Structure formats: structure tokens, C-alpha cells
């Protein structure tokens, strides 16, 4: 393990970056054209009387075709949906979701602001239809973005101390559970959406490739959610954020000195950019995905050092070495 100072420093989560601000007038005009309407699948199906299930599902099939398919009243679908609705834990989750999310007006406004920026940077972008649903605590799926449809499992954003999460015990790691709060909804969504707007190599050939790809995703999230603190975009406790900020030059020096940037050791790459409570090379005080954080700083620096270029050039560039060179990245000790 590299000897990096175990600094714990608490701060308010302000960003280090100074990305150029978008044209507020243009963003405002785009915003006027947007009407975000989140469709609540969980409300639609849990409010169905038991003796009207088949008829009501047929009535809902157009609005919620993504969930119900073409023939929601088939015997197989009726058994499956009826079983889901009658499951005690699912009804308990629905009750809590109704309590914590009685309406989604504020969330719709936040999405409208973010999608205004998406359309500003990517004029040909498609604003997805957004649905909420109850997953039955299927945390392996989490937020889903597919075919310009965004699915948000509200039962996975009820607060890290919600009693049913505690019942999962060690099955659900603590560093994952702390993200099960409503403030992580938008960052989680735009983390998934980012894949559509960022080009990357089909196969990551070395650590630098993986770092830059992850860095692009974090930069995309930052641009769409400019008021979101780093600790939500890069979802680790504030003290771990401060650790990697203070140790950025040391981490970079470690990667260079040990000739790791161009290493094709995929086990090492996963440890550097994969999700975990900490990065094993740097000790328990570090966040997981420390390599992804460095990739983010490289991408931030690229934007700052290339003001004449559009950020879409960065997102479309698949040569990680070109990005690193153009960024002139050199963290200060």
C-alpha cells in the first residue's frame, strides 16, 4: 500500500472545477419548451381494486406499455402482478413511498432544469419519458435507462436508515446503502443517461482508458447537475472526497511511478475504478473508484485548458492519451 497521508478534512462539498457557464438566456428558452411529467406506475397498479385487476390493467396498457406489454391481462401476467401486489413487503414499500413522495412536482422541476442543459449541450438529444415504480428492493437493477425511457425505483431512495434496508444486513453493503436517499435520484439517473452521450472504446485496453471513460461520465453529470455537490456525483462521504482532493498529487505520482497508467492488468483496473468502499491501493481513508476521480480531474482540466473547444469534442474523443496530453494535467502538491 502506498504511503499517502491519511488526512480527514471536513468541508462543505464545493467543487474544485471552474467549468464555463452555459448561456443562461439560451438555457432559459429551452426550459420554456419542456414539460416534464413523471408517470407513477406504482400508484397506478397499487390503487387497482382486487376484483378489477384484469380490466384495469387493460385500461393502463397504453400509458404503461413499458411495464405491461401488449397483453397485461393474460393469465401469466395476472398471476405475476397479483402476486407482486399482494406481497406484504411490497405493500409496505408502497406505503412508505407514498409517505415520502406524495407528489413529484419538485423532482419534475429538477429534471426539467437538467434536461434543459442536456438539450443546450446536445441539441439533438431526446428527453426520455420518466416512470417511477416499486422494485421490491431489487437493488441490483437500480435506475434503468433504456430506449429513451427512464425508470426510477422509488423504494430504493427511502433513506439509508429505512428499516427494511437494515433487514437486508450484510447482503447490502453500507457504502451502497448510504446512496439510497432521495438526493441521489438525479445523479443516479444522469449517470445512466451519460452512456448515450459519451463515446468510449468498446474494450478498455488499459487503466488510462478506464479512468478517462469514468471521468467523462462524472463530468457529464456535473454539467447536467451544476448545483449538485461532488459528494453526490462521486457518491462517497465528504471526508473521503476531501482525502482524495488533498492526496490527488500523491495518487497521480503513485500511478506514474509504478507505471500503472498503461497497465492492462484488469484486476488492478477494476480495483482502481470499480465501485467499492475504498481503493485498496490507498487504504481505508480513500474513496472507492479513486482512479475514476483522477479521470474526472483530467477531464475537468481538459475543459479549462481548451476553452476554444466544445466539450462534445472531449466526449467524442476515444483516444485517452490524446485527452490526457491536451489536458496538460499536473496536480499540485
The reported pLDDT for the residue numbered 20 is 84
The reported pLDDT for the residue numbered 297 is 97
DSSP string, 299-327: HHHHHHH-TTS-HHHHHH---HHHHHHHH
**pLDDT category, 18, cuts 50, 70, 90?**
low
In the listed set 166, 196, 226, which residue is the last one of a domain according to the structure?
Answer: 196
Do 308 and 184 share a structural domain?
no
Do 147 and 204 share a structural domain?
no
9 within a domain of the structure (yes/no): no
37 within a domain of the structure (yes/no): yes
Looking at the chain, the whole-number percentage of residues with pLDDT higher than 90 is: 85
DSSP string, 9-70: -------S--PPPP-HHHHHHHHHT-----EEHHHHHHTS-GGGHHHHHHHHTTTTHHHH-S
Region 228-255 average pLDDT: 96
Whole-prediction pTM: 0.92
State which residues form the domain around 180. Answer: 24-196
18 within a domain of the structure (yes/no): no
Count the domains in the chain: 2
Instruction: Compute CA distances 239 → 7, 172, 285, whole Å.
Output: 9, 22, 8
Region 209-231 average pLDDT: 96
Do 251 and 191 share a structural domain?
no
Region 112-134 average pLDDT: 97
* pLDDT surpassing 70 at residue 14: no
* pLDDT surpassing 60 at residue 186: yes
Do 231 and 138 share a structural domain?
no
CB atoms near residue 111 (< 10 Å): 25
The reported pLDDT for the residue numbered 204 is 66
Do 187 and 259 share a structural domain?
no
DSSP string, 125-171: --PPEEEEE--SS-TTT-SEEETTEEEEEGGG-S-TT-HHHHTTGGG
* pLDDT surpassing 90 at residue 209: yes
Do 161 and 73 share a structural domain?
yes
Q: What is the mean pLDDT of the chain?
A: 92
122 within a domain of the structure (yes/no): yes
Q: Residue 253: CB partners within 8 Å, gap ≥ 6?
A: none
The residue with greater pLDDT, 19 or 111, is 111
16 within a domain of the structure (yes/no): no
Do 208 and 260 share a structural domain?
yes
Residue 19 to residue 226: CA distance in whole angstroms: 9
* pLDDT surpassing 60 at residue 73: yes
The reported pLDDT for the residue numbered 1 is 41
Residue 327 to residue 211: CA distance in whole angstroms: 14
35 within a domain of the structure (yes/no): yes
Do 224 and 124 share a structural domain?
no
Region 219-238 average pLDDT: 96
Amino acid at each position: 500500500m502506498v504511503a499517502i497521508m491519511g488526512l480527514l478534512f471536513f468541508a462543505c462539498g464545493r467543487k474544485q472545477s471552474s467549468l464555463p457557464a452555459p448561456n443562461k438566456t439560451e438555457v432559459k428558452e429551452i426550459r420554456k419548451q419542456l414539460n416534464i411529467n413523471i408517470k407513477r406506475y406504482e400508484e397506478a397498479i397499487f390503487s387497482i381494486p382486487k376484483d378489477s385487476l384484469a380490466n384495469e390493467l387493460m385500461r393502463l396498457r397504453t400509458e404503461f406499455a413499458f411495464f405491461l406489454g401488449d397483453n397485461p391481462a393474460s393469465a401469466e401476467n395476472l398471476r405475476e402482478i397479483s402476486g407482486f401486489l399482494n406481497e406484504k413487503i411490497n405493500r409496505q414499500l408502497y406505503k412508505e413511498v407514498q409517505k415520502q413522495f406524495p407528489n413529484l412536482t419538485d423532482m419534475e422541476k429538477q429534471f426539467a432544469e437538467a434536461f434543459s442543459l442536456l438539450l443546450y449541450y446536445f441539441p439533438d438529444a431526446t428527453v426520455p419519458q420518466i416512470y417511477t415504480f416499486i422494485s421490491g428492493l431489487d437493488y441490483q437493477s437500480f435506475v434503468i435507462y433504456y430506449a429513451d425511457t427512464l425508470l426510477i425505483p422509488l423504494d430504493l431512495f427511502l433513506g439509508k436508515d429505512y428499516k427494511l434496508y437494515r433487514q437486508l444486513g450484510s447482503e447490502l453493503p453500507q457504502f451502497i446503502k448510504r446512496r439510497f436517499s432521495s438526493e441521489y435520484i438525479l445523479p443516479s439517473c444522469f449517470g445512466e443517461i451519460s452512456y448515450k452521450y459519451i463515446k468510449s472504446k468498446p474494450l478498455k485496453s488499459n487503466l488510462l482508458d478506464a479512468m478517462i471513460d469514468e471521468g467523462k461520465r462524472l463530468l457529464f453529470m456535473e454539467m447536467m447537475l451544476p448545483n449538485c455537490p461532488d459528494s453526490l456525483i462521486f457518491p462517497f462521504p465528504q471526508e473521503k472526497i476531501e482525502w482524495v482532493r488533498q492526496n490527488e498529487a500523491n495518487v497521480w505520482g503513485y500511478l506514474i511511478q509504478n507505471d500503472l497508467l498503461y497497465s492492462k492488468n484488469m484486476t488492478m483496473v477494476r480495483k482502481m475504478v470499480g465501485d467499492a468502499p475504498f481503493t485498496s491501493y490507498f487504504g481505508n481513508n480513500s474513496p472507492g473508484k479513486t482512479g475514476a476521480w483522477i479521470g474526472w480531474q483530467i477531464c475537468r482540466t481538459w475543459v479549462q485548458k481548451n476553452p476554444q473547444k466544445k466539450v462534445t469534442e472531449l466526449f467524442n474523443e476515444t483516444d485517452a492519451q490524446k485527452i490526457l496530453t491536451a489536458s496538460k494535467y499536473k496536480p499540485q502538491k
